Structure 1
Amino acid sequence: MGLFTFIKNAGAKVFGIGKTNAEEAAEKTADAAAVKLKRETAAANKLKETISDLGLEVENLNVYISDDQATVTGAAFNQATKEKVVLVVGNSNGIATVDDQMTVENPEPEAQFHTVISGDTLGKIAKKFYGNAMKYPVIFEANKPMLKNPDLIYPGQVLRIPALD
């Protein structure tokens, strides 16, 4: 799929990405590179754990973080899983780009991505992409398990918009 761009500070702050004041101070010391590498490695490991916990099947999954870019490799079970992994990583606070280098075991058409803006609802997004606001459950289902509630989306979040069958 390639390189995807996200809004760096719009994502969930649950993966340990981004800096605390203490980490910023530590980076100014002589051990700044080691502190940075440790933080990035911990964040990458947390993302891998989250992807696994969400039940997204990727063989030989690897996430590497450098500054605000994440690189993801492995063999995803299908296209939807591959796209969801990119979204889990990209919708994390501190990540601005995701370099998707995953392969797909069961290829299928790629979905479109949509960045949520203020005032968006899944119904409005469904109306835009499908011409019918009542198709919002398609978008909701396509973004599970990252979305737990169709009413809880936020500006800057990137969503999968699959083609209708």
Structure 2
Amino acid sequence: MAGRGYSIFDTAIGRCGIAWGELGVVGVQLPELREIETRKRLFQHYPDAREMRPPEEIAVAIEGIAATLRGGDGDLAGVTLDMAGIPAFNERVYETVRSIPRGETRTYDEVAGGLRASGAVYSVAQSLGRNPFMIIVPCHRVLEAGNYPDRISPSGGSISKRRLLSIEGAQPTTSKTLLPVARPRPQA
């Protein structure tokens, strides 16, 4: 791969975009209401990227994203992300969130606990709000405890968390903790 490129591609929820560089995917843009807005958003984030045919490894990522967005089990585990410029804490958050299985959710608190940073709920939320790797890093699977916001990061386009979770067959109550939870002892 030489330089940065981007491509617009069809999915079951609309035309998405993906941008890449020599080290892997640099960003994914979910569809805006119109394709021109999706392109505009990609250009805002990656002004040095040029539209081109995706190389093989990016085509595999596109196939995985498209499969995921039609309710299939798109394999995105092997997609290489270009983390240049991403803070180390955010990298750890993204790694943890990538391990959340399709159809399950976690809370921000559970993700923070999984990082052994239990006081970092706000930082986890901020990190996911800046997630440039939509679907590959499935931030839609992370919810606020006791609340079900429909917000998604700026790369989320016009698509809501609720819609993405529905496509995956997840319910907001299917949270599984990342760490073992102490069970109450039966009364003697």
Classify the TM-score, shorter chain.
0.3 to 0.5
Question: Which protein, 1 or 2, shows the higher relative CO under an 8 Å CA cutoff with sep ≥ 6?
Answer: 1
> If each structure's strand is expressed as a fraction of its own residues, which one has the higher value?
1
